[in-house]
Amino acid sequence: MPDTRPKLLIVEDDIGLQRQLRWAYDGYQLFIAGDRAEALEILRTEEPPVVTLDLGLPPDPDGISEGMAVLAQILTERPGTKVIVASGHGDRASARRAIAEGAWDFYQKPIDIDSLGHIVGRAFHVHALEEENRRLAEAAPADGRVLGRMITAAPEMLKVARMIERVANANVAVMLLGASGTGKELLAKGVHETSDRASGPFVAINCAAIPETLLESELFGHEKGAFTGAVKTTIGKIEQAEGGTLFLDEVGDIPLPLQVKLLRFLQERVIERIGGRQPIPVDTRIVCATHQNLDEMIAEQRFREDLYYRLAEIVVRIPTLAERAGDAVLLARHFVSKFARDLNPQVKGLANDAIAAIDAWSWPGNVRELENRVKRAVILADAKLVSAADLDLDAGEEVEEVVVNLRAVREAADQQAIRRAIARADGNVSSAARMLGVSRPTLYDLMKTYNLG
Ligand SMILES: Nc1ncnc2c1ncn2[C@@H]1O[C@H](COP(=O)(O)OP(=O)(O)OP(=O)(O)O)[C@@H](O)[C@H]1O
């Protein structure tokens, strides 16, 4: 029977330690290398996701030069590998340097098998999660699903995408509620492109960005001579979206008199251009969005309740980026490769301190803020990896700080992987444990720790 246990490479030149480690890890397929050549050969043939690396290797067993060289080569050849370095007792400077060069974590000698086992276990979880994220991100555009352009692995957001797919073809008005930058316009396009109107136009208008005096003409159009300056007949956005979808962004900013006119269109499906005398039938689907509290506006009579019910046949609430565990890092990777391609091809990815900082940041401006920060960072970066400083985010200079942040990253990743595996196994803990590569009791412990299930 093929061995399906996860592969762990241990790079260690001390024969005694090799033996000790061999016994400690019966949950993994172990590969042991005593020097650089052996390590690289195993890396290439077995592709282990996780490597523990002693920095003191021959020909420099008392220094770290050989260990650092092996680290660099592993990360060049297989950048996704999680390398955990072993540093000598009290040698924090080496650990710090190795982390700055891309190691995932470190442990200090003498080895404590339990805590090292814990670090290794988490490294496998994070690696599996990243692989799946990468697969999802890569698969999305290829599989042709319209909402495939939305990048997410968070259950909260996948639920939103599924809901959009379900309502796309029911000809109902959809209202998207979410903070600024959460992806409302992208989802509105998703509604359009998944619907049977996809071959028609998608027209967007931001009602907050247009002065009140011009909004009516923008929406409904005007006839030549309707007002001073109306030198030619112009059709409005509603008509432009004939046969397609009109996205009314910031619908809460439409002034009351115009709300009446919009309501009439929604009830009768005809419009009148300013200065026009003919009602014109228009077949346009409305998707709208706002970040305002419409209930409050209705109570204060600033928004018409009858219009609200016409616009909000289906209400979709979009979670903030902070509520979608793991998505900030996933999106950041996507934006790094997108912007690096166009703006700075030497940039290859995110440094560990950047990943920790992205995960720790609260993203008040949501995906838009993330996109802008990553874009600027890619332009400014002068190394291969974008750092927390390039992103203008606090990284914390001490290794201790990074470790705390990495732990937070890992815990978030754990929770997400567990939730997903349990969902996929339809609540069966044994098969979820098999998927995650841990024993059933371990999974129960983790579920208890994270309050899942
Ligand atoms: N899940 C996602 N995957 C990929 N890109 C995204 C995602 N969500 C948002 N974006 C990108 O982030 C930017 C902001 O998104 P969008 O304009 O849809 O947000 P919004 O909620 O309409 O913002 P606002 O309320 O400020 O108008 C866009 O460039 C969009 O393409």
Pocket test for ligand 1, best of 367, 370, 373, 375 (most atoms within 8 A of CB): 367
CATH value at residue 20: 3.40.50.2300
Q: Tell me, what CATH number does 310's domain have?
A: 3.40.50.300
**Burial of 1 from C-beta contacts in 10 A (0-12 / 13-18 / 19+):** exposed
Pocket test for ligand 1, best of 146, 149, 175, 185 (most atoms within 8 A of CB): 185
The reported pLDDT for the residue numbered 36 is: 94
CA gap 59, 391 in Å, rounded: 39
How confident is the prediction for the chain on average, in pLDDT? 86
Which strand ranges, in their side-by-side order, compose the sheet holding 29-33? Answer: 29-33, 7-11, 50-54, 82-87, 105-108
The answer to whether residue 437 is domain-embedded is no
What pLDDT, on the 0 to 100 scale, is given for residue 20?
Answer: 84
Query: Taking Cα atoms as reference points, which of 197, 241, 243 lies closest to residue 221?
Result: 241
402 part of a folded domain? no
The pLDDT value recorded for residue 416 is: 78
111 secondary structure, DSSP code: P
Do 16 and 121 fall within a single domain?
A: yes
Nearest CA to ligand 1 atom 8: 183
Is the domain of 121 the same as that of 201? no
User: 97: number of CA atoms within 13 Å, CB side?
Assistant: 13
Residue 449 near residue 439, CB atoms below 8 Å: no
Helix (H/G/I), strand (E/B), else coil: 234: strand
Q: How confident is the model at residue 400 (pLDDT cuts 50, 70, 90)?
A: very low
Q: What is the mean pLDDT of residues 125-148?
A: 60
Q: How many angstroms separate the CA atoms of 142 and 447, rounded?
A: 34
In-domain check, residue 219: yes
Pocket of ligand 1 (CB under 6 A): 150-152, 178, 180-186, 249, 291, 331, 367-368, 371
Domain stops at, among 301, 318, 335: 318
Task: Among 261, 287, 318, identify where a domain stops.
Answer: 318
Q: Tell me, in angstroms, the distance from the centre of ligand 1 to residue 181's CA.
A: 5
pLDDT band at 89 (very low <50, low <70, confident <90, very high): low
Q: What percent of the chain has pLDDT over 90?
A: 48
Average pLDDT over every residue of 49-76? 91
168/307 same-domain check:
yes
Average pLDDT over residues 167-176: 88
Structural domain tally of the chain? 2
- Closest of 274, 261, 270 to residue 230, by C-alpha: 274
**Sign (positive/negative) of CA torsion 176, 177, 180, 182?**
negative
Residue 410 pLDDT grade (very low, low, confident, very high; cuts 50, 70, 90):
confident
Residue 224 lies in a domain: yes
Residue 144 has pLDDT above 80, yes or no: no
Same domain, 115 and 188: no
Whether 273 is covered by a domain: the verdict is yes
Q: CA-CA distances (angstroms) from residue 178 to 182, 294, 425?
A: 6, 12, 31
Residue 50, pLDDT above cutoff 50: yes
Q: Which of 266, 318, 267, 310 is nearest to 290 (CA)?
A: 318
Task: Determine the pLDDT at residue 141.
Answer: 38
Is position 281 within any domain?
yes
Nearest CA to ligand 1 atom 28: 368
Same domain, 220 and 96: no
Rounded to the nearest 10 degrees, the angle between the axes of helix 256-268 and helix 212-220 is 10
Domain presence at residue 386 = no
Predicted pLDDT of residue 104: 86
Q: Are residues 168 and 301 in the same domain?
A: yes
Give the range of the structural domain holding residue 287, as residue numbers without chain letter.
160-318
Same domain membership, residue 303 and residue 173:
yes
**Residue 287 zone, left/alpha/beta (φ > 0; ψ -120 to 50; rest):** beta
A 10 A CB-CB count for 158 gives: 17
Angle at 99 between CA 96 and CA 100, to 5 degrees: 85
ipTM value? 0.97
One domain, residues 209 and 253: yes
Residue 172 shares a structural domain with residue 130:
no
Q: What's the CA-to-centroid distance between 184 and ligand 1, angstroms?
A: 6
Predicted local distance difference test score (pLDDT) of residue 421: 75
Query: Is 126 in the same domain as 170?
Result: no
Q: Give the distance (Å) from ligand 1 centre to CA of residue 373.
A: 14
- pLDDT of 287-299, one tens digit each? 999 988 999 999 9
For the segment 411-415, the average pLDDT, to the nearest whole number, is: 81
Q: What's the whole-number mean pLDDT along residues 403-423?
A: 73
Give the sign of the dihedral formed by CA 216, CA 222, CA 228, CA 231: positive
Task: Determine the pLDDT at residue 92.
Answer: 79
Q: In degrees, to the nearest 5, what angle opens at C-alpha 445 toward C-alphas 424 and 414? A: 50
In terms of domains, do 81 and 15 share one? yes
User: What b-and-e string marks burial along 36-59, b requiring 16 or more CB atoms within 10 Å of the CB?
Assistant: beebbebbeeeebbbbbbbbbbee
Q: Measure 190 CA to ligand 1 centroid, in angstroms.
A: 12
Q: Which of 251, 285, 318 is the last residue of a domain?
A: 318
Task: Please report the sign of the dihedral spanned by the C-alpha atoms of residue 251, residue 256, residue 257, residue 261.
Answer: positive
| pLDDT tens column, 222-278 | 998 888 888 899 999 999 999 999 999 999 999 999 999 999 999 999 999 999 988
Evaluate whether 167 touches 174 at the Cβ level (below 8 Å): yes
Are 110 and 169 found together in one domain?
A: no
Query: Residue 148 pLDDT > 80, yes or no?
Result: no
Give the pLDDT mean for 354-362: 88
Q: How big is the CA angle at 92 (ends 90 and 98), to the nearest 5 degrees?
A: 135
Answer whether residue 298 is part of any domain. Answer: yes
pLDDT for the residue numbered 235: 94
**Taking a C-beta distance cutoff of 8 angstroms, is the pair 173, 311 a contact?**
yes
Average pLDDT over residues 112-126: 85
The DSSP annotation for 290-359 comes to ESS-HHHHHHTTSS-HHHHHHH-SEEEEPPPGGGSTTHHHHHHHHHHHHHHHHH-TT--EE-HHHHHHHH
